[in-house]
Structure 1
Amino acid sequence: MKFVMSDLPPRHRYKLLVSTVTPRPIAWVTTRGRNGVVNAAPYSFFNAMGDDPPLLVLGLLKDGTGANKDTATNIIEAGEFVVNLVSEHDAETMNLSCVDAPRDVSEIDYAGIATTPAERVSPPLIATAPVSFECVKRELLEIGPRQVIAVGEVLVTHIRDEFIADPEKLHVDTAAMKLIGRMHGTGTYLRNTDTFTMTRPAYDPARIDGEAR
């Protein structure tokens, strides 16, 4: 089937995107509001987008009234956030932080999330996360009525010591982190345990020459 996205309501576009663009890594984002309340929320419209400067990008959907949610509001106002990656161990706690809590309620308290202070930004790290990225806002794009795209520059990367296989060579034991990702459908997740390896091939001009003949 063919779907012309402009002909569909936003909810249907969302269903097509999240059912096909999989697996998606999860950014468990911590921010701090003007009132001092620390917010924690997971987002799967997320990925790394560069290394010079090192960039992470978040797609932050608005609420049903078209207003920014806490994460977007706090990033806009404070310009700082922390992206924490999610392991299997933290899955239930992360899921609990998805609740639509009132703005004066911290998901950190509600879900019982352990935190530790960051070095360069105000929002804390999630203490149990295998990886945390301290970020500052570089760009904020409001494209359309329902979303904000936040581009953050990574200032500090924290990787728990047990996942560093070789500190000198920066070899990371990614498999040991047991990260999870989002899949299709409501509440469907993926364990990153079924992997395979392919060697990147070198260009072979004989393949083209052979086809030309």
Structure 2
Amino acid sequence: MFLDFSALLPQQRYKLLTATVVPRPIALVSTISTEGIVNAAPFSFFNVFSEDPALAVLGLESRRDTGAIKDTTRNIIESGELVINLVDRQMVSEMAACAADLGPDQSELDFAGLSSARSRMIAPPGIEEAPIRFECRLFEMRQITPVRHLCIAEILALHARSGLIDTADMRVDTSAYVPVGRLHGTEYCETQDRFHITVPQTGSTPPADRKDRRRQT
């Protein structure tokens, strides 16, 4: 099968991308408006792609019916600050509730029953229930199309639930940290089924050779 993306509608591309590039991490982004209303919204077009500087990227979509930018995008543009809260199984229902279409004068934290957590370096609060949260400053906001913005955020600081990180070697306890990933539509997953892979060292038997030997036996 071969699919030319230039021949597909945007919604068709969306369905293919979100069903094949999986699982995707979820950013529950909290921002604050100029009126002081705390907004929270989940995004699965999200990842990190640099450590120096530490950068995260978010794909922000405008309203499909009117093309108007949503609260998160507007708040980031106006304040230049945001908190990326990561999501685990304990807070998936609340995360989903934050996707509700509320007015700009309503806080998704109140609607979802989530608690705000004071940030140290920026104004927007994080979410207390999140296992990990990143305080971020806007690095670059680029409008890709009339309905899509690409937000690059610089991570200034990290907050973690007690016991998740050993600061002696910056090791994360992956048995205690079980984030939720987005699959497709209403399907999500947990990262509990894990395995280890050892990268072959120079001079070792290449994987292709090992595969050929297995076939011979």
Distance of aligned partners of 1:205 and 1:113 in 2 relative to their CA distance in 1, 3 Å threshold? closer
Return the offset for 1:203.
2.9
1:70-94 Cα distance to aligned partner (Å, 9 max, x none): 1111111110000000010001111
User: What's the TM-score, normalizing by structure 2?
Assistant: 0.91
Instruction: Give the conservation status (yes or no) of the 8 Å contact 1:60–1:72.
Output: yes
AA paired with 2:191?
A: N
AA paired with 2:188?
A: Y
Return the offset for 1:183.
0.2
> Which residue number corresponds to residue 212 of structure 2?
none
Q: Structure 1: where are the runs of 5+ without partners? A: none
Distance of aligned partners of 1:174 and 1:205 in 2 relative to their CA distance in 1, 3 Å threshold? closer
Residues 77-96 of structure 1 aligned to structure 2 (within 5 Å): 77-96=78-97
Return the offset for 1:112.
1.1
- Paired with 1:49 and 1:2, the residues of 2 have a C-alpha distance of 29
- Paired with 1:169 and 1:206, the residues of 2 have a C-alpha distance of 32
- Paired with 1:206 and 1:41, the residues of 2 have a C-alpha distance of 48
Partner SS, residue 175 of structure 1:
coil
AA paired with 1:29?
A: V
Alignment partner of 1:39 is 2:39: yes
- Paired with 1:12 and 1:145, the residues of 2 have a C-alpha distance of 18
Aligned length: 207
Instruction: Give the conservation status (yes or no) of the 8 Å contact 1:175–1:192.
Output: no
Instruction: Give the conservation status (yes or no) of the 8 Å contact 1:56–1:152.
Output: yes
Partner SS, residue 59 of structure 1:
strand
- Paired with 1:3 and 1:97, the residues of 2 have a C-alpha distance of 34
Alignment partner of 1:152 is 2:150: no
Return the offset for 1:194.
0.7
> Which residue number corresponds to residue 193 of structure 2?
194
1:5-44 Cα distance to aligned partner (Å, 9 max, x none): 1211111110010010000000000000111110000000
Q: Structure 2: where are the runs of 5+ without partners? A: 210-217
- Paired with 1:172 and 1:206, the residues of 2 have a C-alpha distance of 32
- Paired with 1:206 and 1:187, the residues of 2 have a C-alpha distance of 43
Identity percentage of aligned residues: 43
Instruction: Give the conservation status (yes or no) of the 8 Å contact 1:24–1:45.
Output: yes
Alignment partner of 1:75 is 2:73: no
Structure 1 runs of 4+ aligned residues shifted over 4 Å read none
Return the offset for 1:49.
0.8
User: What's the TM-score, normalizing by structure 1?
Assistant: 0.93
Residues 9-158 of structure 1 aligned to structure 2 (within 5 Å): 9-64=9-64, 65-158=66-159
